[in-house]
Structure 1
Amino acid sequence: MARDIVRRDFMKRVGAAGAIGATGLAGCIGSPGESGGDGGGTEGGDGGGETTTTGGGGGGSGGPEGLVVIGYPESGIQLFRDYYSQSDGSEEILVPDGLRDGAMPGQVGNDMANVTGTAPAAGGPNQEAFNTLFQDEYGSSPGVFTSQTYDSVAIQLLANAAAGANDGTAIQEQMRRIANPDGMTVTPENLVEGVEAAANGEDVNYQGASSATNFNEDGDPASAAYSIWEFADGGTSQVEVQNFEGENPDGAGSSADSGSGGSDREMSVGILLPETGDLASVGQPMIQAAQIPVTQINEANPAGLSVNAQIEDTQTSPSAGTSAAETLASAGVPSVCGSASSGVNVPVSQQVFIPNEIVGCSPSSTALSVSNLDDDDYIFRTAPSDFLQGRVMAQVMSERLGVSSVSTLYVNNDYGQQLSDRFSSVFTEQFGGEVYHKVAFNKGESSYSSVIETALSGPDS
């Protein structure tokens, strides 16, 4: 019996400040909180102030050869305007996906040709299979983090089928068993057969669209693909995709040895993503992707199984996201795809998922603080941690851009500081580079001239 996808009715709106085009993602790695602030993954304003750390060495004119800028488009526009008014643009600038907005050069008034970016990419072994499914279902190309969203829901449904019950603890014990080697290879193309095999107690190994989806001890992907991109022609252009592996590419961590399985029942899953708010333009395609595996199972009913999916809107807000998560918990949902941003994901995990023994699997929350949660192994994600992104950025800055001295400019929240620190550590220790200054900036300032002046200064300034 096919089940309808349950959803609450929301007005579709996109916040005027920080609206994101299809070319970029502003803040799924630590999204804006309420009242325009980040507050390190919780509600409230920025932490305030700026911090400066100095190192040694110097660029050709006394300043650094490169800059790392970590933030969001709404503040990045003014920051880059001030940068180009103070510099001739000779520094190599590296940014993460939070600043991947193709409209920025036009808004800044500069082609930003000296800016290179990195971003998690859909580089899994079955990316093309997912792309075809999405295009066939919606008549458009999939957007950013849509493949990670599909993988999140597919893994949860496989784990639920293997567990044989809508029970968060039982599903948690199956997450690595069905995602990590070994067993029958399951892909987006044969998900229905994979769910039936899992329900019959067979070993399965899901190979995803976004990555191989092997979970490490923290519940993060053990390997990931990253896109290297540039601004071009009114948008962004992907230069290349590189695959990076963690210490245990086949995954690690505890899991069940077998699954009870079971047939002829309804599986339950929650979808907690932003339909509205600053990330609505990104969240809506992600919600579409989340519904594809649900539809696949409901149309085929493998082993007599069906899916009841309940969608709730985080509104790109920690408080609204927590309230929506509580709605899912009250409905008895055992596992959830979400939430999207780290600023929402951390409080939702701490206040709702973990205490209620609900499995959370975010497709786009990348902040290091997620890996550090005391989560009793209930929190997973199909998007790679900034622990890996920091290393990728350090390697790109050193080897691709040929830079040996940098300063970092980062938005003053957990996401910005943690990614700045991770980049700096790898850049100095593994690539022999020098970091002159690490400078925090607050969102929404009318001018960033002073922080840019500090970042561009020599090591002894």
Structure 2
Amino acid sequence: MLVTRGPRVAALAACAALLFATGACGTTDQPEEADTPQVRLYGTDGNMLNSYPGELKDRAGLVDGMKGTTPLTLLPEDFKKRLRSVDPQLTDFLYAAESYDAVMISALAAQLAGTTSPAAIAKQINGVTNEGQRCDDAAGCLELARAGRDIEYRSVSLTRAGFTDAGEPATASYGTLHFDDQKLNDGKTEFVGAGDESTASTKAPPKGYRQRGDRAPAGSGAPLVLGGLLPRTGALALAHPPLAAGVALAVREINAAGGVLGEPVVWIDGDDGTNPTVAKATVASHIERDVHVIIGAGASGISKAVLPDVVAAGRILFSPSSTDAGLSTVDDKGLFFRTAPSDILQGRALADVILRDGPHRVALVARKDSYGEGLQGFVRAELERAGISGDAVKLLTYDPPADAESPPVDFGAGAREIKDFGADAVLLIGFAESAAVILALDDAGVRIQS
């Protein structure tokens, strides 16, 4: 049935006049949120864990759709099975391979050095991973080392190239992870390589010690004593189970293969607390107990805080998870090593993940420390290279809680800034405490994309 258009045109004209004058029109009732873009969440190695959704308690579903990167290789099922034999409750594997390899490399270096002297061990570490006879398990590598043979250790985290002169991996593998149904969806995980094999060290280590017989040589200082400096408590405690499992597995397999210098390796546990005060106390205890190699710390900021104490005592600090690029050039007297790759590499991988979704306005939220602000800067630089810069990128930081007794992060003002900014992508560079940022965004009415 046809009707006249006269009244309809008049109504529209009146509405248009009202809209021009007041910015509103009574013929629609759209909520303000309809004009607010949905925000995609992105994370990093400190929060892309199956345990992370639990930090959001009854709003754990907010992580669904969140993506992120972490240093990760495609772990063999056999390795996962061996890790679960140590910890049957293990649900995450983040840095388990790196902690396993940190212990293995330390043990092989001590065997080749013929002594537990940290200075002598340090001179062998880079060489253990480069330009020798390749081996990939405790028994085979230790047999070669006892014969004084130069070896090239390859294993779960160290697959393509060895260490650089700075004592860190020349290449790395990253996993792109996805949260679905409040857990990581392994079926969506993608792997990408980074780094340059040509940067691996070519310096020859001292000639390896050839052990005769099964007993420790006189004056070797055996047994080799390793001390833990891992985040059993604090904001990074959610990463402790896989780190601890990797260490325990390596110690068990080394000792099953005859130990180092004729003696079983000794492990002394220790907590870094994700806190410099706790970590320094643990380091002091390890030094007093004559620990030769300290495995840790978990967070980059903690490694930086304790390194002067470790170096002053002439011990080795070997981190499986500290990624701050600044650690590559720190004054360590040749006593700091890591199996974790530099954040320069992760910044590229992470920016690529964000750019794939075609964002227009990106907020980069980081904990205020060397890890957070460092990685934030590398991601920003990569986004700028891709053409997203200036007013399209917003940088925010927050002070992480000092300890478990401190109040949670208050990110209310930051969340409102992000909403007003109109971000459609938010990167969270933090540990367990970064869950407070997600909750604040939700409280501010930011529409989080699932």
Task: Compute the TM-score of the two structures, normalised by the length of structure 1.
Answer: 0.72
Q: Which residue of 1 aligns with 2:332?
A: 375
Distance 1:231 1:285, change over 3 A: closer
> Which structure has greater helix proportion?
2
2:190 pairs with one of 241, 246, 262: 241
2:155 paired with 1:205? no
Distance 1:421 1:279, change over 3 A: closer
Aligned residue identity for 2:80: N
Q: Which residue of 1 aligns with 2:23?
A: none
Per mean C-alpha deviation after superposition, the further-off stretch among 86-95 and 438-447 is 86-95
Q: What SS does structure 1 have at the residue aligned with 2:376?
A: helix
2:47 pairs with one of 95, 99, 109: 99
2:162 paired with 1:214? yes
- Mapped to 2, the partners of 1:291 and 1:137 lie a distance apart of 7
Q: Which residue of 2 aligns with 1:412?
A: 368
Q: Check the 8 A contact 2:231/2:271 in 1, yes or no.
A: yes
Residue correspondence of structure 1 range 153-232 to structure 2 within 5 A: 153-180=103-130, 182-187=131-136, 190-212=137-159, 214-232=162-180
Aligned residue identity for 2:119: T
Distance 1:282 1:296, change over 3 A: same
Aligned residue identity for 2:275: S
- Mapped to 2, the partners of 1:379 and 1:87 lie a distance apart of 51
C-alpha displacement of 1:175:
0.7
- Mapped to 2, the partners of 1:110 and 1:86 lie a distance apart of 21
2:221 paired with 1:272? no
2:295 paired with 1:295? no
Identity of aligned residues (%): 24
Spell out, residue by residue over 1:88-126, the C-alpha distance to the aligned partner (whole angstroms, 9 max, x if none): 4534443213332234676447645553211221336xx
Distance 1:442 1:140, change over 3 A: closer
- Mapped to 1, the partners of 2:151 and 2:307 lie a distance apart of 27
- For these two proteins, the number of residue pairs brought into alignment is 367
Residue correspondence of structure 1 range 248-267 to structure 2 within 5 A: 248=197, 251-252=200-201, 254=203, 256-262=205-211, 264-265=215-216, 266-267=223-224
2:80 paired with 1:131? yes
1:449 pairs with one of 415, 421, 433: 415
- Mapped to 2, the partners of 1:85 and 1:410 lie a distance apart of 26
Spell out, residue by residue over 1:109-154, the C-alpha distance to the aligned partner (whole angstroms, 9 max, x if none): 7645553211221336xx4442232233443546322111111101
Q: What SS does structure 2 have at the residue aligned with 1:117?
A: strand
Aligned residue identity for 1:130: F
Q: Which residue of 2 aligns with 1:37?
A: none
Distance 1:206 1:86, change over 3 A: farther
Q: Which residue of 2 aligns with 1:150?
A: 100
- Mapped to 2, the partners of 1:364 and 1:323 lie a distance apart of 20
Segments of structure 1 that go 5 or more residues without pairing to the other structure are: 1-83
Distance 1:167 1:379, change over 3 A: same
Q: Check the 8 A contact 1:222/1:248 in 2, yes or no.
A: yes
Aligned residue identity for 1:262: Q
- Mapped to 2, the partners of 1:231 and 1:87 lie a distance apart of 26
2:358 paired with 1:402? yes
C-alpha displacement of 1:317:
1.8
C-alpha displacement of 1:257:
4.4
Larger Rg: 2
Aligned residue identity for 2:382: V
C-alpha displacement of 1:172:
0.9
Distance 1:284 1:113, change over 3 A: closer
- Mapped to 2, the partners of 1:112 and 1:293 lie a distance apart of 33
Aligned residue identity for 1:408: L
Distance 1:297 1:414, change over 3 A: closer
Q: Check the 8 A contact 2:363/2:396 in 1, yes or no.
A: no
Q: What SS does structure 2 have at the residue aligned with 1:286?
A: helix
Distance 1:422 1:132, change over 3 A: same
Q: Which has the higher contact order (CA 8 A, sep 6+)?
A: 1
Q: Check the 8 A contact 2:300/2:370 in 1, yes or no.
A: no
- Mapped to 2, the partners of 1:309 and 1:109 lie a distance apart of 37
Segments of structure 2 that go 5 or more residues without pairing to the other structure are: 1-31, 217-222, 400-408, 425-450
2:296 paired with 1:334? no
Aligned residue identity for 2:142: V
- Mapped to 2, the partners of 1:290 and 1:113 lie a distance apart of 31
Distance 1:445 1:281, change over 3 A: closer
Q: Check the 8 A contact 2:320/2:339 in 1, yes or no.
A: yes
- Mapped to 1, the partners of 2:85 and 2:197 lie a distance apart of 35
Q: Check the 8 A contact 2:361/2:393 in 1, yes or no.
A: no
- Mapped to 1, the partners of 2:37 and 2:65 lie a distance apart of 7
CA RMSD of superposed structures (Å): 2.9
2:258 paired with 1:309? no
